[in-house]
Amino acid sequence: MTPATQIGRPIPATVTVLEARGLVREYGAVVAVDGVDLTLAEGEFLTLFGPNGAGKSSLLGMLAGALRPTRGSVAVRGAPLDFGDVAWRARIGMVSHRGFLYAHLTAEENLRFYGELFGLGDLDERVPERLERVGLAARARAQVHELSHGMRQRLSLARALLHDPDLVLLDEPFTGLDPSAAAVLHRVLRELRDGRRTVVMVTHNLSEGLALATRVAIQVGGRLAWEGAAGGERDGFERLYHDVVEGRYARGEPTPGRDAAGRGALEARA
């Protein structure tokens, strides 16, 4: 078969990194995640918005293999979720509210500890490089409890990226950051849009979420109520967000900023 071409060039094959099918998570009688299907290709950055209690963190936990689905399946690069498989977990890096950092170890010691858990053999080069990348080279020997909240967030990101995962999951990384710390984190996250990694970020920060994403979804009542291409102006998306959350938007309606065929006039930002 002749490869598809565009303007005389082969169109690169889409490589699926994340595939979730029919994900459900129940806590007793409460359904936190209700039948979510999600497929993301290599290089995509999905920002997930939604009100408190929409099930976003539960969804992220299932994608990470940290939370067992009540029903449904998750696969990363075709490998089904396996809670006991260290190799499967090595495909994923996650930044959550907990941070997974040891307060009385230094920034450098934390990364070395996790590097040894993953069996990495080049930590003398890898650890300084990751600390430099997140702007913490000068704080390498500071204990975690001595770091500001913003620095701990960046160190958590360095930990999550230490083993070069295929899939990066971020749960509210901008929460509690001052504008300066948020700007540094934004720069680091933008570097993740390198075409190799696939990223899912949960956030309430519309500006940061839209600026970083290639795709956007809104989760309401445990379901993905809207999905589309990222880009456009914050004001237009904010109106759409409120319509979706408050039930004034129905699936199948033309989306503001899109033509009748459903093509996105909301272009992903460079």
Contact between residue 40 and residue 24 where contact means Cβ atoms under 8 Å apart: no
pTM: 0.85
Please report the pLDDT score of residue 231 as a whole number.
72
Please report the pLDDT score of residue 46 as a whole number.
97
Residues of the chain with pLDDT under 50: 1-11, 254, 256-270
> Residue 263, Cβ neighbours under 10 Å: how many?
9
Please report the pLDDT score of residue 211 as a whole number.
92
Tokens 């806590």 found at = 27
Contact between residue 85 and residue 75 where contact means Cβ atoms under 8 Å apart: no
Which run of H or of E encompasses 48? strand 45-49
Cα within 13 Å of Cα(102), Cβ side? 10
Contact between residue 117 and residue 123 where contact means Cβ atoms under 8 Å apart: no
Contact between residue 21 and residue 71 where contact means Cβ atoms under 8 Å apart: no
Cα within 13 Å of Cα(74), Cβ side? 26
Helix axes 123-133, 107-117, angle to 10 degrees: 130
Please report the pLDDT score of residue 8 as a whole number.
43
> Residue 83, Cβ neighbours under 10 Å: how many?
10
DSSP state of 262: -
Please report the pLDDT score of residue 7 as a whole number.
43
* Interacting residues of 197 by C-beta distance below 8 A, sequence separation 6+: 42, 43, 165, 166, 167, 168
Please report the pLDDT score of residue 86 as a whole number.
77
pLDDT tens for 125-179 read 999 999 999 999 999 999 999 999 989 999 999 999 999 999 999 999 988 888 8
Q: How far apart are CA 191 and CA 195, in angstroms?
A: 10
